[in-house]
Amino acid sequence: MDLNGKRIVITGATSGLGLEVLNLLLKYDVRILAVGRNMTDVPQDEKIFPLQCDVSSQQGVDKVFAEASEKMGGIDLFWANAGFGCYQQFGEPDWVKMEQIFHTNVFSPYYSLQKMLTLYPNQKMLFMVTDSIAGLLEVPGFALYVATKFAINGGMSAIQYEVPKHVTVSIIYPVATKTRFFERAGTSIDKAGPVQSSEACARAILRGIQKDSKKIYPYTLWLPFNFFLKYIPFIKHFTLKTLNLQLQRKWGK
Ligand SMILES: NC(=O)c1ccc[n+]([C@@H]2O[C@H](COP(=O)([O-])OP(=O)(O)OC[C@H]3O[C@@H](n4cnc5c(N)ncnc54)[C@H](OP(=O)(O)O)[C@@H]3O)[C@@H](O)[C@H]2O)c1
């Protein structure tokens, strides 16, 4: 997508990947609705319309679309990026936590895409969603998060076949990236691997936008790694088993 003149919505623009890409986008002739709950780090710029909003509910997403219409007259690129992780031993019953994580990571992106397709049916558009390598790999310790990201990968990949030619649905699969994600999820990035800087990840996402890529893998070494995981199942099994043993030791099992 040629970015110049485009009206962009970014959810989760207040921190991490969203904020990093937002800053890169400012060198283009764009208008951006920057959405999140804590606006402290969002730069003040005439190209940015900050919107303090929780996107984990239908009302929240509706508010984003109403604001985009009012401030920018529509949307050319919608990036459903808001999301969070949850690092825990699976078992403690917690309906509320499951609702929160599915509402934010799954329902919100799907509902946003439904709104884009309904409100702008004939318009050329790019819809991006931040998935994760955890949407492709069953990482122990992150079961609920993995469930949400697999849900994104599966459904959005199906939708990629359905949408008309003028609509591009793009799925982003970052590896562990240095943002506040791990701290917020209740763990540390030291335990993860491979790891990428948020700057490098953001640059790769920007290249993906410019090329209208349907699948964006910001960490290119993931592709050969994935080849081994996919075609030599023992490697995957061994890697995940070892990770799980470390977790069980940590959790005193
Ligand atoms: N970092 C990684 O290792 C990694 C790897 C793969 C995928 N991802 C995905 O990348 C995306 C961005 O995460 P990040 O790494 O940039 O982490 P981050 O620094 O924690 O940023 C998360 C962003 O999501 C926003 N957000 C979360 N819940 C929200 C809600 N209910 N309403 C509105 N905004 C909400 C946060 O804004 P407020 O707090 O201001 O509301 C923040 O801007 C997420 O979808 C995450 O799953 C991250």
Q: What are the tens digits of pLDDT across the range 212-223?
A: 999 999 999 999
Residue ranges of domains in the chain:
7-224
Q: How far is the CA of 23 from the centre of ligand 1 (A)?
A: 16
Mutation pick for ligand 1 pocket among 64, 130, 183, 189 (CB with most ligand atoms within 8 Å) = 130
Q: Please indicate whether residue 249 or residue 27 has the higher confidence score (pLDDT).
A: 27
Class of domain 7-224: alpha beta
Distance CA 60, CA 58 (A): 5
Q: Residue 55 C-alpha to ligand 1 middle, in angstroms?
A: 11
Residue ID of nearest Cα to ligand 1 atom 1: 177
Res 189: pLDDT: 72
Per the CB < 8 A criterion, the answer to whether 55 and 110 are in contact is no
Ligand 1: which of 96, 179, 182, 217 to mutate, most ligand atoms within 8 Å of CB?
A: 179
Q: What is the pLDDT of residue 246?
A: 79
Res 53: pLDDT = 98
Between the CA of 169 and the centroid of ligand 1 the distance, in Å, is 19
Q: Give the number of the atom of ligand 1 that is nearest the alpha carbon of residue 183.
A: 20
Q: Which protein residues are within 6 Å of ligand 1, measured from CB?
A: 11-12, 14-18, 36-38, 54-56, 81-85, 104, 130, 132, 174, 176-177, 179-181, 184
CB 81 within 8 A of CB 18: yes
Q: Rg of the chain's alpha carbons, rounded to an integer? A: 18
Range with lowest mean pLDDT among 96-105, 152-161, 226-235 = 226-235
pLDDT, residue 192, reads 66
| Ligand 1 nearest-atom number relative to CA 130 | 45
Distance between Cα 179 and ligand 1 center (Å): 9
Contacts 24+ apart (CB under 8 A), 62-68: 62/115, 64/9, 64/11, 64/33, 64/35, 64/112, 65/115, 65/119, 67/33, 68/7, 68/9, 68/33
pLDDT at 240 over 60: yes
Quote the pLDDT of residue 213: 98
Q: In the chain, pLDDT over 90 holds for what percent of residues?
A: 83
* pLDDT, tens digit (0-9, with 9 covering 90-100), for 115-165: 999 999 999 999 999 999 999 999 999 999 999 999 999 999 999 999 999
Q: Is-contact 122 166, C-beta < 8 A?
A: yes
